[in-house]
């Protein structure tokens, strides 16, 4: 049998608490809170219609191409990305930081509080100048490093200059890439093959090797690999090979550097609207329908990957290493 006094006290306590909750300021009872609509800043956004969809206009540019001349112009987060101090005080080097995912990462890193150095080809100066201005507008240090990363000497100099001008190095993003479609293996020259591997694989090796002596526990290395590493297209043989190499570099190096407290991860984009596509990376027919076969029916925009790079660089992702994060609109792997 239960204790009646205990039951009574319990009921009184519960009723008293409920009454207290129901009283508003001034002693008036408050109505039960009604469901409130989401704030405008948190409104849901349909990913299928959030950005441009094919068909796209016919267009081409000489390699490496400029984002500023694309139609439509890619969105790297110039007006939309908002930071919250997740990378305050960090120092980053991003290759290919003038456009594409590198530019999105540079903008996001700066607005999260990091100082940023970007590398790019001299032909990409117009795009790079815009990125440098955006980093500085965020109140952070910006370092421009034009040059060709197919040169080992330039890669070493670039890392040394980043360390000198930013006072150190905590984040390395190996993002710069060369992609030139060829319909047949017979059309890939030795010069093509060499240029693609030097840009995508050798430079990653040289830059990471030069950076390692400067990286402390808590530092992060991030590679931009691709869905091509897992599901290669028939006309991107050499490019897909390099992206598979980058993926394996990520997983192997993560095991080597884990005990040192340095995390190594990758990002594997699917079809993303960048200058690579209009500068020889896709056929004209593929370009006009670019991204149309994904589940979302459109290509991704670089801004849609910016937060992934931030997450992989941030301290709260401290258990993520040896991972490859995909963003492919419902296609590809992982």
Cα dihedral sign, 156-145-223-182: negative
Q: How far is CA 74 from CA 70, 249, 277, in A?
A: 7, 29, 12
- Find, among 247, 173, 220, 211, the residue nearest to 318 by Cα: 220
Which two three-digit tokens encode residue 91? 């120092």
230 assigned to active site: no
Identify which of 306, 269, 307 has the alpha carbon closest to the alpha carbon of residue 291. 269
- Sign, CA torsion 67/69/70/75: positive
| Torsion angle of the four alpha carbons 38, 41, 44, 50, in this order, in degrees rounded to the nearest 10 | 160
Tokens 């940023």 found at: 116
Of the residues 230, 239, 309, 325, which is catalytic? 239
Burial track 19-36 (b if 16+ CB lie within 10 A, e otherwise): eeeeeeeeeeeeeeeeee
φ, ψ (nearest 5 deg) of residue 143: -125, 125
Per DSSP, the residues of 84-146 read: -STTTT-EEEEETTTSHHHHHHHHHHHHTT-EEEEEE-GGGHHHHHHHHHHHHHTT--EEEEE
Catalytic residue IDs: 239
């Amino acid at each position: 049998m239960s204790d009646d006094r205990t039951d009574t006290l319990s009921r009184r306590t519960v009723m008293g608490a409920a009454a207290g909750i129901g009283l508003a300021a001034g002693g008036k009872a408050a109505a039960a809170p009604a469901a409130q609509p989401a704030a405008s800043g948190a409104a849901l956004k349909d990913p299928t219609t959030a950005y441009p969809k094919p068909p796209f206009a016919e267009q081409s540019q000489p390699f490496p191409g400029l984002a500023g001349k694309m139609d439509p112009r890619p969105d790297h987060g110039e007006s939309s990305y908002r930071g919250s101090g997740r990378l305050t005080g960090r120092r980053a080097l991003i290759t290919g930081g003038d456009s594409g995912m590198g530019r999105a990462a540079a903008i996001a890193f700066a607005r999260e509080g990091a100082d940023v150095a970007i590398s790019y080809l001299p032909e990409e100066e117009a795009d790079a100048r815009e990125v440098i201005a955006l980093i500085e507008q965020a109140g952070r240090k910006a370092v421009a490093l034009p040059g060709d990363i197919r040169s080992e000497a330039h890669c070493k100099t670039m890392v040394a200059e980043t360390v000198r001008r930013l006072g150190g190095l905590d984040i390395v993003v190996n993002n710069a890439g060369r992609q030139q479609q060829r319909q047949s293996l017979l059309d890939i020259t030795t010069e093509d093959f060499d240029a693609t591997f030097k840009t995508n694989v050798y430079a990653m090796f040289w830059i990471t090797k030069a950076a390692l002596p400067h990286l402390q526990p808590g530092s992060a290395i991030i590679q931009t690999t691709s869905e091509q590493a897992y599901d290669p297209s028939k006309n991107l043989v050499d490019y897909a090979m390099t992206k598979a190499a980058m993926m394996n570099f990520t997983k192997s190096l993560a095991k080597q550097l884990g005990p040192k407290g340095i995390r190594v991860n990758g990002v594997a984009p699917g079809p993303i609207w960048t200058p690579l596509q209009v500068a020889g990376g896709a056929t004209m027919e593929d370009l006009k329908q670019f991204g149309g076969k994904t589940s979302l029916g459109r290509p991704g925009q670089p801004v849609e990957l910016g937060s992934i790079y931030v997450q992989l660089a941030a301290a709260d992702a401290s258990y993520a290493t040896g991972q490859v994060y995909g963003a492919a609109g419902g296609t590809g792997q992982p």
